[in-house]
């Protein structure tokens, strides 16, 4: 298997680690958060907004892009990088989340979906997923996996684990693009023994990096953290660990404390579209009437474009009158906040003060 990505651990503080993930389109300091650009765009934001917020890497969705506009069109437009005007690192998921979210017909060979756009039948196999992602051209592609909602019977979790391993072997066999890394995905629900079994078997396949899948689907934080710990114990220390779908502040810092490096979630931008503001002093809704004549920025400690230029009163006005600009401005702030937490974690790990940083942020994030 070719290895176009490199990962170097630069500093550790207990299990937490600061590293550098090198890709064909640049390097990403870790721990890092990837904004989700489902349809080759992070909603309401353009590439300049992403860069100014501090984005190092973006995630795009294989399933949606193969349907609209089609992976063949994306390929002709210069791949995802050229198509969306983003020259930094990109990761594409495999379509596996749709196994969970769209209730498809599932068999050992693959899955059959109904298109969310026109209702047509769509087939996805490990080989098709790899071929689509090679045409999309992201720096990192993910194997097709089978995840289940939690809680779930252990026999169902084990079945998904074993199917994911079989699909992983087929994905490795199908993968050809030398400038794109293929990452494996660990399953096993929240059962530590199944997680350890899946992680050890997935590691043995020799992937250059690993997704920790099947979490952030309804489990308790304590169960998730135990599952992550069991997984990390079986993965190579010198390869990147990516917790898929995790994006809330407390959950991400728990995973960083457990030795994980990469995260993605729609959380910051989705909350922004509903008027929810993330800050270092706690989260709040800008809809609240008390902000109608508040001249303060969203967060006094934030230096994003939104906080430098606009008041809470103005942003509430935009939201309450349905002005589209508010989605961009709140998304810029929430993403800047989230990426700032990652920068703070990296700095704290390098200085040997991660736990103090984590506990201090938790104390300051009172609910307001």
Catalytic residue ranges: 93, 264
Contact present, 330 and 273 (Cβ < 8 Å): yes
**Does 259 lie in the same domain as 300?**
no
* Domain's final residue, options 214, 242, 265: 265
Tens of pLDDT, residues 338-368: 999 999 999 999 999 999 999 999 999 975 5
Band of residue 104 on the pLDDT scale cut at 50, 70, 90: confident
**Does 293 lie in the same domain as 252?**
no
Residue 193 maps to a domain: yes
Which pLDDT score, from 0 to 100, does residue 290 have?
98
**Does 153 lie in the same domain as 48?**
yes
* Domain, as residue range, for 125: 6-265
* Domain's final residue, options 211, 242, 265: 265
**Does 310 lie in the same domain as 250?**
no
Closest Cα to residue 44, out of 349, 329, 342? Answer: 329
Which pLDDT score, from 0 to 100, does residue 153 have?
95
Residue 180 maps to a domain: yes
Residue 234 in tokens:
């079986």
State mean pLDDT over 107-121: 90
Tally of CB atoms within 10 A around 241: 28
Band of residue 96 on the pLDDT scale cut at 50, 70, 90: confident
Residue 309 maps to a domain: yes
**Does 31 lie in the same domain as 140?**
yes
Residues 6+ apart with CB under 8 A from 276: 283, 284, 285, 286, 334
Angle at alpha carbon of residue 19, lines to 15 and 24, rounded to 5°: 145
Number of domains in the chain: 2
**Does 312 lie in the same domain as 256?**
no
Report CA torsion sign: 254, 255, 257, 261.
negative
Band of residue 1 on the pLDDT scale cut at 50, 70, 90: very low
Residue 368 maps to a domain: no
Which pLDDT score, from 0 to 100, does residue 113 have?
85
Which pLDDT score, from 0 to 100, does residue 218 have?
84
**Does 289 lie in the same domain as 248?**
no
């Amino acid at each position: 298997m070719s290895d176009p990505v490199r990962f170097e651990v630069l500093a550790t503080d207990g299990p937490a680690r600061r590293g550098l993930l090198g890709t064909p389109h640049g390097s990403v300091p870790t721990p890092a958060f990837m904004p989700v650009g489902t349809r080759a765009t992070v909603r309401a934001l353009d590439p300049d907004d992403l860069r100014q917020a501090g984005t190092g890497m973006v995630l795009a969705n294989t399933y949606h892009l193969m349907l609209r506009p089609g992976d063949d069109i994306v390929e002709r437009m210069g791949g995802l990088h050229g198509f969306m005007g983003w020259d930094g690192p990109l990761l594409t998921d495999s379509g596996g989340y749709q196994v969970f979210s769209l209730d498809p017909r599932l068999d050992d060979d693959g899955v059959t979906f109904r298109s969310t756009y026109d209702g047509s039948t769509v087939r996805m196999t490990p080989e098709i997923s790899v071929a689509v992602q090679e045409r999309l051209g992201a720096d990192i592609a993910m194997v097709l996996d089978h995840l289940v909602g939690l809680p779930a019977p252990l026999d169902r979790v084990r079945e998904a684990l074993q199917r994911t391993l079989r699909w992983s072997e087929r994905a490795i066999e199908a993968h050809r693009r030398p400038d794109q890394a293929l990452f494996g995905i660990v399953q096993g629900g929240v059962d530590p023994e199944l997680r350890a079994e899946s992680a050890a078997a997935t590691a043995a396949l020799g992937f250059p990096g690993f997704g920790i899948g099947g979490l952030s689907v309804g489990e308790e934080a304590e169960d998730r953290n135990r599952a992550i710990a069991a997984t990390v114990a079986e993965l190579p220390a010198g390869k990147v660990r990516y917790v898929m779908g995790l994006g809330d502040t407390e959950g991400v810092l728990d995973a960083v404390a457990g030795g994980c490096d990469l995260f993605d979630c729609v959380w910051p931008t989705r909350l922004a579209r509903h008027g929810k503001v993330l800050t270092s002093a706690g989260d709040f809704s800008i809809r609240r009437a008390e902000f109608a004549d508040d001249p303060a920025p969203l967060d006094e400690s934030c230096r994003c474009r939104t906080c430098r230029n606009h008041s809470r009163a103005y942003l509430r006005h935009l939201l309450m009158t349905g002005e589209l600009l508010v989605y961009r401005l709140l998304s810029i702030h929430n993403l800047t906040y989230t990426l700032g937490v990652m920068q703070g974690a990296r700095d704290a790990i390098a200085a040997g003060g991660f736990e103090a940083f984590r506990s201090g942020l938790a104390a300051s994030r009172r609910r307001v």
